[in-house]
Amino acid sequence: MTNAIEARLAELGVTLPDAPAPAANYVPFVRTGNQLYVSGQISSGPDGLIVGKLGDSLTTEQGAAAAKTCALSLLAQVRAACGGDLTRLKRVVKLVGFVNSTADYVEQPKVVNGASDFMVELLGDAGRHARSAVSAASLPLGVAVEIEGIFEIE
């Protein structure tokens, strides 16, 4: 059976990273029933951490690109939780995005759209989700964005 999600990733030219290891005293995900809670994933690309503050050193577009990297790491954690089988992913339930931003920056939703738009592009209606997008005065390691997620799996 062809894995439609993996095929769609390939069609989009996207390769998921390896699931990042926890950086402190927590687990990367917890499953309870058919719900999978994935710990916050920080903005990190092939060249390392994406750091900076929205409204100061980063544009909204750069923030949205950073949020997309969080989405990729979230999906990598889902894949790890499902034993490498993304066909077990049924839908994205909720994303909570934290944006490292100045006090007067108000485009947090546009930043987190980088993750939300990618989930919908990849999964269609199963990627549509509830969401929060909030400002943070600072994030771990100075990263631009951190996003946590809740997923329905089988």
125-149 pLDDT tens trace: 999 999 999 999 999 999 999 999 9
Q: What is the pTM of this model?
A: 0.96
Q: Is residue 63 part of a domain?
A: yes
Give the chain's domain count: 1
Identify the CATH number of the domain in which residue 39 sits.
3.30.1330.40
Q: Is residue 81 part of a domain?
A: yes
68 neighbors 46 (Cβ within 8 angstroms): no
Q: Is residue 50 part of a domain?
A: yes
How would residue 2 be classed by pLDDT, with cut points 50, 70 and 90? low
67-101 pLDDT tens trace: 999 999 999 999 999 999 999 999 999 999 999 99
71 neighbors 127 (Cβ within 8 angstroms): no
**Which residue from 95, 91, 90, 89 is spatially nearest to 130, judged by alpha carbons?**
95
Strand residue runs (E) in the chain? 29-32, 35-42, 44-45, 48-49, 89-100, 130-136, 145-153
C-alpha triplet 33, 35, 37: angle, nearest 5°: 125
Which domain does 62 fall in, by range? 4-19+33-141
For helices 108-123 and 4-11, the axis angle rounded to 10 degrees is 120
